[in-house]
């Protein structure tokens, strides 16, 4: 049987709409407690969240469910998703839970899990949790109830971990950075990481109010960051998303540098500086320019399904240490187990420091192919094999004549269909993408 609730990145949706409701989340906590119980009928689960106003509500609900199942809970408060993965490992916990909808607006929220090794849960464990959701909650005897406590030094532990991914004497002295935390989970930690390494840090998006997360800021909207980099003559800008697992950067000329370009920079640095890059895992959405650039570096490249869990699966299957998505999920598997925006930014800064080149100069070896993506909002997922859609796609592929790609993909986290067209001519790519999007919209509304 397929999964009913878990998607590519946990369970996500609009707050107050099933399953993102208090009663469901409490039962989810109880179900997870049942699955993760160890010998003696107890387990230890970490719970962290981003800065959404609904996080308090769901934190309490999860806590109640886990305790009812006999599980102990360590509450981390607002912490980046990759920090929770790291702390789950270091605390030797059975699992870590993140309350976050990542780059989505504040009206959404979600729940995602990490296993004790810091990796996303395998499918069979998610299915086991879903099986318990069909049972009624049975509260443990009072003597067997779990306990909860707050971890007061979680932020400091993660800051030290991030710094520890670099050589001991690495310094950012003399570097000016603008860091946009998207009013999200990194607001307490990211500026400290860069400041403690010696950088001059100009902060943006560090005043969360529960509702401004990802609102006109962060990795999904870099306009404010681009302007600030130019205004302050900073060396570069760093844009993180609401839960800190994505990063997009801005060079000193004010131009955004996406995940594909950051992957290229890290891979090139490693390949040419005594750290051979065994291979890079991208996704179906990765720009063809990245694939060509990897070929020029003689670095193997593969495409996984969209979603960092699939990128990580591809990396682990091949024994590779580097992968990511154009959206900014960058996984450095030699130092961490999941996408980490701060760690990825530090890897790029190391490449800059040791090469003596600017971010603008480092990205020049990769030429991106023009790519347009149109998001089509849908109430229900349409048949993407429908004759009307297939006909328009076939015509687009004929027009591209083998010098581009067409990809239609339902989002795993939002009710939209992503239409991507890649080719050598910008205007042609935009025209074809809009034609296909209109066809998808017609079929979806029929």
Q: What is the pLDDT along the chain (446 residues), one digit of tens a residue?
A: 689 999 888 999 999 999 999 999 999 999 999 999 976 778 999 999 999 999 999 999 999 999 999 999 999 999 999 999 999 999 999 999 999 999 999 999 999 999 999 999 999 999 999 999 999 999 999 999 999 999 999 999 999 999 999 999 999 999 999 999 999 999 999 999 999 999 999 999 999 999 999 999 999 999 999 999 999 999 999 999 999 999 999 999 999 999 999 999 999 999 998 888 999 999 998 998 999 899 999 999 999 998 899 999 999 999 999 999 999 999 999 999 999 999 999 999 999 999 999 999 999 999 999 999 999 999 888 999 999 999 999 999 999 988 888 999 998 777 899 999 999 899 999 999 999 999 999 999 88
Per-residue confidence (pLDDT) for residue 59, from 0 to 100: 98
* Closest residue by Cα to residue 382 from 436, 437, 438, 441: 441
Residues 6+ apart with CB under 8 A from 154: 48, 76, 77, 79, 83, 87
Say what the pLDDT of residue 406 is. Answer: 94
- Dihedral Cα 172, 173, 176, 182, nearest 10 deg: 40
Res 1: pLDDT: 62
pLDDT of residue 39: 67
Catalytic residues: 102
Q: Indicate the DSSP class of residue 7.
A: B
pLDDT at 415: 87
What pLDDT was estimated at residue 212? 98
Domains of the chain are: 11-157 (3.40.120.10), 175-256 (3.40.120.10), 258-368 (3.40.120.10), 371-445 (3.30.310.50)
Q: What is the pTM of this model?
A: 0.91
Please answer whether residues 97 and 111 qualify as being in contact, where contact means their C-beta atoms are separated by less than 8 angstroms.
yes
297 preceded by cis ω (within 30°)? no
pLDDT at 41: 78
Taking alpha carbons only, the member of 146, 84, 161 closest to residue 118 is 84
Whole-number Å distance between alpha carbons of 394 and 389:
9
Cβ atoms within 10 Å of 273's Cβ, excluding its own:
12
Q: What are phi and psi of 282, to 5 degrees?
A: -110, -155
């Amino acid at each position: 049987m397929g999964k009913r609730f878990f998607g590519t990145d946990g369970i996500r949706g609009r707050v107050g709409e099933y399953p993102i409701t208090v009663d469901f989340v409490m039962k989810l906590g109880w179900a997870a407690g049942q699955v993760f119980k160890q010998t003696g009928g107890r387990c230890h689960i970490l719970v962290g969240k981003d800065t959404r106003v609904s996080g308090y509500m769901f934190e309490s609900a999860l806590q109640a469910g886990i305790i009812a199942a006999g599980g102990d809970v360590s509450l981390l408060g607002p912490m980046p998703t990759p920090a929770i993965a790291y702390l789950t490992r270091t605390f030797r916990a059975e699992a870590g839970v993140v309350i976050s909808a990542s780059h989505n607006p504040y009206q959404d929220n979600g729940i995602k899990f990490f296993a004790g090794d810091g990796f996303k849960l395998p499918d069979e464990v998610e299915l086991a949790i879903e099986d318990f959701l069909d049972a009624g909650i049975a509260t443990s005897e009072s003597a067997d109830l779990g306990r909860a406590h707050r971890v007061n030094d979680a932020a400091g532990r993660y800051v030290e971990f991030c710094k520890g991914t670099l050589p001991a004497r690495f310094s950012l002295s003399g570097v000016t950075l603008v860091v946009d935390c998207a009013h999200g989970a990194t607001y307490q930690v990211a500026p400290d990481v860069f400041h403690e390494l010696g950088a001059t840090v100009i902060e943006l998006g560090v005043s969360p109010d529960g509702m401004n997360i990802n609102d006109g800021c962060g990795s999904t909207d870099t306009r404010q960051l681009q302007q600030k980099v130019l205004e302050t003559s900073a060396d570069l800008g760093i844009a993180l998303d609401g839960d800190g697992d994505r990063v997009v950067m801005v060079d000193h000329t004010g131009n955004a540098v996406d995940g594909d370009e950051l992957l290229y920079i890290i891979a090139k640095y490693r390949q040419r500086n005594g750290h051979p890059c065994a291979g890079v895992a991208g996704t179906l959405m990765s720009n063809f320019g990245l694939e060509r650039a990897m070929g020029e570096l003689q670095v193997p490249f593969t495409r996984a399904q969209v979603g960092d869990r699939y990128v990580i699966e591809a990396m682990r299957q091949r024994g590779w240490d580097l992968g990511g998505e154009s959206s900014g999920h960058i996984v450095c598997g030699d130092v961490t187990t999941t996408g980490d925006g701060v760690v990825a930014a530090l890897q790029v800064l190391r490449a800059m420091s040791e090469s003596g080149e600017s971010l603008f100069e480092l990205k020049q070896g990769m030429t991106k192919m023009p790519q347009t993506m149109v998001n089509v909002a849908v109430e229900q997922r349409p048949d993407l094999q429908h004759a009307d859609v297939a006909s328009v796609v076939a015509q687009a592929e004929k027009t591209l004549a083998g010098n581009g790609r067409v990809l239609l993909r339902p989002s795993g986290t939002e009710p939209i269909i992503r239409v991507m067209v890649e080719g050598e001519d910008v205007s042609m790519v935009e025209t074809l993408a809009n034609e296909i999007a209109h066809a998808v919209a017609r079929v979806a509304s029929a």
